[in-house]
Every structure is written in C-alpha cells, then in structure tokens.
A and B are shown apart, each in its own frame.
Chain A
Amino acid sequence: MTVSGDLRAFAASARKELRIVRRYPLNYVGGVFWGALLPAVYVLMGQAYSGGSDPRAMQAFAERAGTTQFAGFVFVGYAMYMWLSIILWGPGTALRREQIQGSLEATMLTPVSRLVLLFGPGMSAIPNMLFTFVVTFVSLWVLFGVVPPLGALVPVLVILMIALPAMYAIGALFAAGVLRYGEIGPVVQIVRGTFVLACGITFPVAMLPAWAQAGAGLLPPTYVVEDIRAAVLRGVALPGLVSDLAVTAGLTLVIGALAMVVFGYLERSARRTGMLGRY
C-alpha cells in the first residue's frame, strides 16, 4: 500500500475513533467531576498540611516545589494525571477493545501499515486531553480564585504541542503490549501509579530519593508538568524552557521508535502463537 493510502487509512481510523468519542458525551461528565474534585481535595489537604499557609511551611514547600502556590501546583499535576488516564485507558486499550469486539483480526488482514493500527486510536484522546486542560484551569479559577497569567498562554500552548506527541507515544508503546498479554487492565493501574509517583504529579520530584529522581528524568510527563508549572506559576518564558522541551521531544522520538519496534516484534510473535484471536 502507498504512503498516501496509509495516510487516508490513518485519517479514516482517526475519524472512526473521534466518532465513537462523540457518541458517548456522558463521559465528559466524569471528566468534569474528577478533573475538578480530585485536585480540589488535594488543595484542601495542602491547606491542612500547611497549617492554613503557615509562613515556615510555605517556605519549606517553595524550596522543594519552586512555588508557594500549591493550588496551581496540584491542579497542573492533576491535569497530567487525567492525561495519563485518558491515554492509558483510551488508545492504550484500543487494540484490546478491538480484540474483544472481534474486529482486531479482520483489521490486521487489511493491507494498511501496522503503524495506522498503532497510532490511529491516539486521535480519540486529543479532544479529551484538551477538554481536561480547560476543566483544570476553569475549576482552578472558580474553586480557588487562581487565574493563570495571560502571558503564560503561548508557552503553555507550545508545551502542549510538544507534549501531545509524547503522550501519544506512551499510549502507543503501552498499546503494543495487548498483542502479547491480552488483558491489560491491572497493568494500566500499575503503570499509571508509577507515573503518578515518579513524575511529580501530586508532590515535588525533590521529595523522591536520588535513584527515583534519575528514573523520573527518563519520563516525558516529568518535564511537561514541570514546564507548565514554570510557565503558569513562575512566569518563565519560552527561552527558559527550551532545554526541557528538547529533552521531551528527544524522549518522544525514542519512545515512538520503541513502540514501533515492540509492536513489530509482538505482532510477529502473535502471528506465531495465534494470540490475535484469543482473549
């Protein structure tokens, strides 16, 4: 099949996924509920732990987190948590859904590139991810009166443009595992939990031991969360974020390439073992 044919197949796959997302609008209710209330609870925990903003406690937090605005800190972290949930439960399990619905084998028999199957479902996550971001900042404003500075808009948009492929690549790498293991629900929980602990989502990465901080440096969400916090809470402009963004882009390429290699290997393995039709 030609490249243009593959691109048309990719567009068709993306359209199909987006149509499915559109058919379940009630899922957005869950997005609003969890997107607003989970971080709100953490902010109230922060109020308890800081003794209602005791200056010594706030100073200690600022030394570790780089800001005293723990409400903004938590909400940005939880936006990443929601992104990870969307990516892992959406595109990450899309192949599994095809497997359960019985359409994976049939799709595999078409002449399109396997990359379409691997990366197509990721499109379904994009509206949800953007929606989550809107929910995050609106609820931060409505519930806690924190309004992000307008000057942060451009840096945040640039970070998001670089973050989306990174998250996409993580979802694709995860999706490949379906071909080998089938049911991956429990693994989703473990992987998401690992990201939550390692990437500074609800607490500063500085709280982790040195070896865990080194591990966090290999995960794109660590940089994405840190950069958005820097832009929104500390007013850091784009030039100050370039090195982090370059690392994120580099890691995206590595993870994307790894996803393609792993998918190819597991697909060959699945053909030999007949795993595609089993679940």
Chain B
Amino acid sequence: MGELRAAIAIGKKDLTVLSRYRIAVVSQIFTPLYQGVIPAFLFGASFAVAGRVVGLEATVGTENLAGFIFLGGVVSGLVATSFWAMAMGLRNEMDAGTLEPVWLTPTRHETLVIGRALGGIVWFLISQIVLFAIGILVFGLRFDATILLALPALLVAIVGMVGVAYLLAGIVLLIRDANFFIDCTNFLFGVASGVAFPVTLLPGLFQAVALLLPTTYAMDLLRQYAIGARPTFDPRLEYAGLILSTLVLYPLGRRFFGRAERIMRVRGSLSQF
C-alpha cells in the first residue's frame, strides 16, 4: 500500500512539474501534430484519387487515412511515454541532482519507474484526447464504436511497455548521457511497431524484430477494431503474441533494472553525470 502511495505521489509530482511549463505542455500537443500528423496526412492525401486513398485501401483494407495516422499516433505516443517519461525521467532526476536523495528513501527503486509510468500515462491520455478532438474537428477523423474492443490490447501493451521502460531505465542509469540513444531507439521501436506503415513492408530482419514487440500486436488490433483494417495475423494469434511478449518483457526489464542498479552501486556512479 505504501509503495502504491509513493508511486501515485511520484506521478503527481511529475504532472505538477510538467504543468508549470506551459509552453512545453502546448508543445507536447502540437509537435506531434505539425511534425507527424499533418505531413503524413498531406503526403497520404497526395496519393488520393477523387478523394479516396485507394492505395491505402489496397495495402491495409481501409481508406480511412486519418484513422490510420491518428491510431498510429496512439501507439507512437505510448512508446514515447515509455522511452522519455518513464525511462529518461531518471536521467532528468540525475541532472536536477535529486536522484541520490530519492534513491535513499525507503521506497523500492522499482516503484520510481512505476510512479513515472503513472504520471506519463495520465499525460498520455490527456494528450490523446486533445489530439483526437483536433482530428475529429479538423481532419475528419472517424472510427467505429468497436474501438472499445481494442482497449484490453492497449492495457496489456502498457504493461509490456513498463517492462521496456525498466530495461531502458537500467541502460540510462549505466550510460548516463542517453539522449541520442533514447532518441534513436524510440524512433526505431515506433517504426518496428508499425505506427507509420504496416510491418509487412519492413525489410525481413526488422519484421522478425517487430514480432517480438507487444506494441506491434496492439497497433494491429487497434486499427482492426477501430477502422476495420485488415489484420496481419488472426486476432487470437495477435492477442497471444501480445500477452506472451508482455510476459517476457516485464520480468526481463525488472531483472535488468535490478542488475543495472547493483552495477551502479558497485561503481558508485549514482551521483555522476
């Protein structure tokens, strides 16, 4: 119970800090819009024939371009939350000089990542609601009510991404100056999850990597239920892949995080940056 209260307190603290930087808050909504959504939407629309994106229909079984892009944004946002808010957040504490005191509190160190995950996911939900509202009003975003059937897939994917965040947090603690690493891996993880295009278009080796990620299955299920996209595999197989990859990634991430922490204690590198 104490750990849960600590996690909630960490999440609230992160949200309070973020809310103090209003330009950063606005930027986190609008940057994905003008750097991702609008260029992708106009690029996709440039292939449209008499208002219909026939090419997309041939590729994924639906011509709902706005739906395809905005739903890609949902999983892309989840990946970014895991990489930047949950994992890289520890680096921010390091920069602020508060990581050492936090580490000395009786709270379990794994809880620090869970707390960041709570704060990050609340912000992720708020930003997605705003983006969807903009999508509906400006880009003609439409999706089916069956989108609700994809919620369990998203919830499982969130657990899987917390596992990934543990893994990354361990790496961030070890290499410290992790900005470039997180930036590159965040990009590659999103691409391999199929946020921008179906994973079947990836080169062979990357397709194999894509099948190891929970977000690949969550992305496919979300698009299938929300806009009627053609699934890559049978949905039952996709749910199985999603659950299996989460069951592997979560304990793996926890284990790696614990190992990284032990290495850090031996090296005495907690306060170094």
**A residues adjacent to B (C-beta < 8 A):** 30, 33, 37, 41-42, 44-52, 54, 56-61, 64-65, 186, 189, 193-194, 196-197, 201-204, 206-208
Within the complex, what minimum Cβ distance (angstroms) separates B192 from chain A?
11
Residues on A with beta carbons closer than 8 Å to the beta carbon of B188: 37
Residues on B with beta carbons closer than 8 Å to the beta carbon of A42: 43
Q: Is the CB of A64 within 8 A of B46?
A: yes
Q: A50-B47, A57-B49, A58-B47 are in contact. List 6 more A-B contacts (CB 8 A).
A: A30-B180, A48-B198, A49-B43, A49-B53, A56-B49, A203-B39
- The distance in angstroms between the C-alpha atoms of A61 and B23, with both chains bound, is 37
Q: Is the CB of B38 within 8 A of A197?
A: yes
Residues on A with beta carbons closer than 8 Å to the beta carbon of B24: 186
Within the complex, what minimum Cβ distance (angstroms) separates A149 from chain B?
24
Residues on B with beta carbons closer than 8 Å to the beta carbon of A45: 40, 43-44, 196-197
B264 near A: Cβ within 8 Å?
no
Q: Is the CB of B184 within 8 A of A48?
A: no
- The distance in angstroms between the C-alpha atoms of A64 and B191, with both chains bound, is 27
- The distance in angstroms between the C-alpha atoms of A35 and B8, with both chains bound, is 41
Within the complex, what minimum Cβ distance (angstroms) separates B59 from chain A?
5
Binds A, one of B27-35, B101-109, B137-145, B207-215: B27-35
- The distance in angstroms between the C-alpha atoms of A49 and B43, with both chains bound, is 8
Q: Which residues of chain B (53-71) have a CB below 8 Å from chain A? A: 53-60, 65
Q: Is the CB of B201 within 8 A of A44?
A: yes
> Which residue of B has the minimal Cβ distance to A206?
B46
**B residues adjacent to A (C-beta < 8 A):** 23-24, 27, 31, 34-35, 38-40, 42-49, 53-60, 65, 180, 184, 187-188, 191, 196-198, 201-202
- The distance in angstroms between the C-alpha atoms of A206 and B42, with both chains bound, is 10
Q: Is the CB of B27 within 8 A of A186?
A: yes
The 6 closest A-B pairs by CB, nearest first: A51-B58, A51-B55, A57-B55, A48-B197, A203-B42, A50-B55
Q: Is the CB of A203 within 8 A of B43?
A: yes
> Which residue of A has the minimal Cβ distance to B44?
A49
Q: Is the CB of A54 within 8 A of B46?
A: no
Q: Is the CB of B31 within 8 A of A189?
A: yes
Q: Is the CB of A193 within 8 A of B56?
A: no
Partner of B31, one of A57, A193, A194, A208: A193
Residues on B with beta carbons closer than 8 Å to the beta carbon of A202: 39-40, 42-43
Within the complex, what minimum Cβ distance (angstroms) separates B159 from chain A?
27
> Which residue of A has the minimal Cβ distance to B194?
A48
Q: Is the CB of B180 within 8 A of A49?
A: no
Partner of B201, one of A48, A197, A201, A204: A48
Given A57-B47, A60-B49, A203-B39, check contact A48 B27 (CB 8 Å).
Answer: no
- The distance in angstroms between the C-alpha atoms of A64 and B54, with both chains bound, is 16
Q: Is the CB of B48 within 8 A of A60?
A: yes
Q: Is the CB of B47 within 8 A of A193?
A: no
Residues on B with beta carbons closer than 8 Å to the beta carbon of A207: 42, 45-46
Partner of B57, one of A46, A51, A186, A189: A51
Partner of B60, one of A44, A48, A193: A48
> Which residue of A has the minimal Cβ distance to B202?
A44
Given A50-B55, A51-B54, check contact A37 B187 (CB 8 Å).
Answer: yes
Q: Is the CB of B53 within 8 A of A196?
A: no
> Which residue of B has the minimal Cβ distance to A30?
B180
Given A45-B43, A197-B34, check contact A54 B55 (CB 8 Å).
Answer: yes
> Which residue of A has the minimal Cβ distance to B27?
A186
Q: Is the CB of B59 within 8 A of A44?
A: no
- The distance in angstroms between the C-alpha atoms of A65 and B39, with both chains bound, is 14
Partner of A44, one of B45, B54, B55, B196: B196
> Which residue of B has the minimal Cβ distance to A193?
B34
Residues on B with beta carbons closer than 8 Å to the beta carbon of A203: 39, 42-43, 45-46
Within the complex, what minimum Cβ distance (angstroms) separates B31 from chain A?
6
- The distance in angstroms between the C-alpha atoms of A11 and B260, with both chains bound, is 49
Residues on A with beta carbons closer than 8 Å to the beta carbon of B34: 193-194, 196-197
Q: Of B39, B45, B54, B202, which is in contact with the most chain A CB atoms at under 10 Å from its CB?
A: B39
